[in-house]
Chain A
Amino acid sequence: MNWRFGLTDSTFDPLMTSHWALAAALLLPLVFGVLAAIFPPRRMWPVALGCAVILGGGIGLLMDTQQAGVLHWQWEFIGINVALRVNGVSMLLLLLTQWLGAAAALYTPGLLRISEPERLARWLWPLMGVVISALSLAWLSTDLLTLYIALEAMGLSAVAMLLLSGKADALLAGMRYLLLTLVGSLAYLLGVALILGYWGRLDLAGLAEMVEPGPVAWVAAALMGAGLALKAALFPLHAWLSPVHASAWTPVSALHAGLVVKASLFVLLELWGILLFETFWAPRVIAWMGMLAILWGGLIAWRAESLKTLVASSTVAQLGYLMVVFPLLLGPDISPLARALAWDGFWLQLMGHALAKAAMFMAAGNLILATGEKTLEGLAGTSRRLPLSLLVFGVASVTLMGLPPSAGFTAKWLLLQSMVISQQWWAVAALLAGTLLTAAYIFRFFRYSFMETAPRHDYQPLAPGMDVIALGLALAAFGLGLLAHWPLDLLHGGGA
């Protein structure tokens, strides 16, 4: 498991260009964010310019990683070793973060121009920069302390972005989120303290060699697992998610549902791979919760009155798919083929969902912004008036339903194969039932949108590009299904 996360020694030293690319990935989002707060961009092109630099850095790092397999960095700050690594998985997630972040950033000027300009809106930029930098750090870091810093920065800036919109319900949801994310961090920190006290080190590669199964590992894993599950909105700790998204700005929602919750899940999988590698029950508990999440999230989304609640609840269900995979990745007696398939399917599902969910939030945001209506009933008849936004929603929902040829489908295919091989019939049933439930709540919205009898509203025209960006993300998730070969190759190449 650990070699898959690149927690091994590498034979190559990073090139000079890799250093610069790494710096670009970690620092430039911050720098550009601060710049944008000082000179708020009114148009898309300055943002595009900044994003191009970061994306270029990402591609440079990608090429180095493909050559070297795994890249390692190590520094010492005031007696503490900080180590970073880039391997297949983290490279893939880093690229995903950069592209999704770029899409969210490009979307923002149009949004801010149309919606009534808030005085505080300019602070969205640096906070977004912090989130993207922190996410990149979370994918790359290999010790518990850096991970903690990254998660904390991510959580706090997400809360701050919520508070920016200044509405009362956003304030309430934001404060609740703040409280929960702090509780989560506390649980995580307790686990870290336990590990530091018992084994005396915090770097993952070292821990992977030293950790023995036993009460300490279990308690630490349980504490950290609970904290991370809370941050990742894993069922049954998901209740804070919908209110947060109901009042958040669209790009914030897109980043949050697409990436921020996934970061905690990523860390959870990585840590449990070290602490609970041979445990039978813990991954199964997660999987059972995942099955409930698929059903519960689907039902909530099905009954949702408002479009944003629908989209947010669907995240709970989609995270359930990822949770169901845990027993195929962690635990004894898994056939290598089943594990390899599950590993591929897990990340493909994660990527597909990140892209599709971001696109869907943008499409939903566009629909709500254009009509001024938040409920499904209020949005009736949009098919005739806002066809493009609805098309984006539709293309994104194909991925969520897991219908071909989307990334969701190929991921589901891989997961199903893995489950059939390891004969986990309950998980198969959950995945298949999830498809139908997703279709039920998606088409409930489409049913409204196709109504011809709905009253006509005056529509707020959208800024150019707002739909196009969302369409690009949705199509990326859609096409990733057939082009899955490339990301999966990267996933394999970087760790072996």
Chain B
Amino acid sequence: MNTAWLPLTALAASLLAAVIIFSLPEEARRARTSVNLTAAIIKISLVALMVKRITHGDEAVFSFQVVGNIDFVLRADALGVMFAGLSSVLWLCTTVYAIGYLEGTANRKRFFGFFSLCVASTLGIALAGNLFTFLIFYEMLTLSTYPLVVHSGSDKALNAGRIYLRYTLTAGVVLLFGVVLLYSLTGDHSFASERGLGDYLDDHRVLLTLIFALLVGGFAVKAAMVPLHGWLPRAMVAPAPVSALLHAVAVVKAGAFGILRIIYDLYGIELSVELGVTTALAVASCITIIYGSMRAIAQQELKPRLAFSTISQVSYVVLGVSLFGPFGTIGALAHLLHQGLMKVTLFFCAGIYAEELGIHRIDEMDGAGKRMPLTSLAFTVGAFGMIGLPPVAGFITKWYLGIGAIQADMYWVVAVLVASSTLNAIYFLPIVHRLWFRVGPAHGHGHWPDEQRLGRLETHGWLLWPAVFTAVISLGAGLFAGLPFSPLDWATRVAVGEYLP
């Protein structure tokens, strides 16, 4: 069956949504909402179709020639569909959340238009079949997130946007140079090709290492690896749905996903180990994990703490990749999904606290569990998952990463994992403690900074339900990890594909 239309339509769903949203007038709130939701649901069903095709052993491919020997390729392979699935599910949740969050504010047309573009780029990154296509969507992501970061138009937001562009556009240039060097050396190299770049090892060892450094350096900026992470905490000025999507899915994950593609589908694992680059990556990611956690402890505000936590958590993915072995790979891939679900939950909750109660600082959160039980439950689930407590999804990842480290004889990685989990506990448990066990305004002591009563429930339903939904999935991904089509199951499928071609 010809399935070339599948990846193309999935991409077109969000692109078209962006175009329609841009052409609708600012006041057409209802029409915009329905376009958004319809496109999100269509996209989820298309990704589900892709999953079905892959289980039948058929990868949908769409391609056409751009110039000379360079093709534009969209390919729905297992790894790509995994990321596409994450982004499309979270798109739906975040869209619902954003509709509630931005209720009654200005420039919503611009926001949702670029939001859709951003998600379209993420899908393009997921399905890109070669480095050229990947680069196209990677840069598109940079451009389409800028208006979201500066959305509020305040000086702080505009400065954050400037820093964001400085980092990401410079990274884009580095990446472009790396990709052009690679194409000059090897020509068009599909991600689907079975042979890595091993053929070039003997003659071009130095060049291959240089290209690897350029490519990974370019991706590491978006993946916010230390010391290239500076943009991320600043970008926290963006509205909460943007923080949720940027930090959980789009930007940082695009960077991590890029590194995955480079190692698994471009260089090949053996070659990466042979070049010695995986050890360097493992060290860099461990430094990032520890540094991010340390900085998170020092933060007194909720969103920056979550931001530094993201810096730390995304590097688990990179760490898992650099552990040569199937368990590390499974851990990395599963964490790509798990971290997305858990972090999005946490950011949703942070946004709800800010909107409903005006809470921005951690010491204002005393007793919020009584006032907002569902939100606080969701937050607790996310926090436990981040620490790696069973049965939340985060536990699975850390378990697999630990096994992977032991199998690879890298015992110091296990130490890093233990240290990081301890640090995670140090910065998350006090918050959970404050939520449930401290006495606060809900018990008649003092006032919330800025209490709104947004809805009949503890807050606006459009805000609450996405947070609860993602919390439930995070829990489910841990509890039912053994079932087919769970994140772990799919990650295992991908990993088996990589190691047993």
Contacts and interface: CB of A to CB of B under 8 A. Distances in A.
The answer to whether A binds B is yes
Contact of B181 (A344, A420, A435): A420
B136 A405 contact: yes
A450 B136 CA distance: 25
Contacts of B183: 417
Contacts of B107: 383-384
Nearest to A348: B67
Interface string A428-457: 100010011001000100110011110000
A420 B67 contact: no
Contacts of B109: 387
Interface string B132-147: 1001110110110011
Contacts of B137: 404
A414 B176 CA distance: 12
A447 B162 contact: yes
B497 interface: no
B169 A451 contact: no
A413 B173 contact: no
B21 to A, nearest CB: 12
B180 interface: yes
Contact of B136 (A381, A404, A421): A404
A410 interface: yes
A417 B132 CA distance: 13
Contact of A450 (B68, B72, B147, B176): B147
A405 B140 contact: yes
Nearest to A413: B180
A434 B352 CA distance: 43
Contacts of A404: 135-137, 139-140
B351 to A, nearest CB: 20
Interface string B101-113: 0000011011000
Interface in A471-496: 481-482, 484-485, 488
A475 to B, nearest CB: 11
A409 B67 CA distance: 12
B139 A403 contact: yes
A387 B25 CA distance: 11
Given A416-B176, A428-B177, A450-B158, A387 B110 contact: yes
A436 B180 contact: no
A344 B169 contact: no
Residue among A381, A387, A443, A488 with max Cβ neighbours from chain B (10 Å) = A443
Interface string B161-173: 1100100011011
A428 B162 CA distance: 25
Nearest to B135: A404
Nearest to B158: A447
Nearest to A387: B110
Given A404-B139, A404-B140, A405-B136, A436 B170 contact: yes
A485 B65 contact: yes
Nearest to B67: A484
Given A417-B183, A450-B147, A451-B158, A488 B110 contact: no
B140 to A, nearest CB: 7
B457 interface: no
B177 A416 contact: yes
A450 B147 CA distance: 8
Contacts of A452: 106, 152-154
A344 B107 CA distance: 41
A448 to B, nearest CB: 9
Interface residues of B, number: 40
Contacts of B142: 403
B28 interface: no
A398 interface: yes
A488 B67 contact: yes
B225 interface: no
A453 B153 contact: yes
B184 A485 contact: no
A391 interface: yes
Nearest to B159: A447
A435 B170 CA distance: 9
A277 to B, nearest CB: 25
A471 to B, nearest CB: 11
* Interface size band for A: 35 or more
A381 B107 CA distance: 12
B51 interface: no
A414 B67 contact: yes
A436 B135 contact: no
Contacts of B259: none
Interface string A196-210: 000000000000000
A320 B68 CA distance: 25
Given A405-B136, A432-B176, A391 B22 contact: yes
Given A404-B136, A421-B184, A453-B153, A383 B173 contact: no
B177 A432 contact: yes
Contacts of B132: 413
Contacts of B173: 432, 435-436
Residue among B136, B143, B162, B180 with max Cβ neighbours from chain A (10 Å) = B180
Interface string A394-425: 00001000011100011011101100110000
B139 A447 contact: no
B66 interface: yes
Contacts of A453: 153
B210 to A, nearest CB: 12
B158 A439 contact: no
B150 interface: yes
A102 B28 CA distance: 34
A443 B70 CA distance: 30
Contacts of A436: 169-170, 173
A488 B132 CA distance: 18
Interface in B211-265: none
Contacts of A488: 67-68
Residue among A398, A403, A481 with max Cβ neighbours from chain B (10 Å) = A403
B72 A417 contact: no
B153 A450 contact: yes
Interface string B61-95: 00011111010100000000000000000000000
Nearest to B22: A391
A482 B170 contact: no
A482 B66 contact: yes
A450 B140 contact: no
A446 B162 CA distance: 10
A420 B65 contact: no
Nearest to A438: B169
A453 B157 CA distance: 13
A450 B66 contact: no
Interface string A92-105: 00000000000000
A436 B172 CA distance: 10
Nearest to A433: B173
Interface in A363-396: 381, 383-384, 387, 391
Contacts of B176: 412-413, 416, 432, 435
Nearest to B169: A439
B66 A485 contact: yes
Interface in A346-363: none
Contacts of B110: 383, 387
Nearest to B168: A439
A413 B441 CA distance: 60
Given A383-B110, A387-B110, A420-B180, A435 B169 contact: yes
A428 B214 CA distance: 15
Contacts of A421: 184
A384 B176 CA distance: 33
Given A383-B107, A414-B68, 19 more contacts: A383-B110, A384-B106, A387-B22, A387-B110, A403-B143, A404-B137, A412-B176, A413-B180, A416-B177, A420-B180, A420-B184, A421-B184, A432-B177, A435-B176, A436-B169, A439-B165, A443-B161, A447-B158, A488-B68
15 contacts: A383-B110, A384-B106, A384-B107, A391-B22, A403-B139, A403-B143, A410-B66, A413-B180, A416-B177, A450-B147, A451-B153, A481-B66, A484-B66, A485-B64, A485-B66
- What 6 pairs across the A-B complex have the smallest Cβ distances? A452-B153, A404-B136, A416-B180, A420-B184, A403-B139, A432-B173
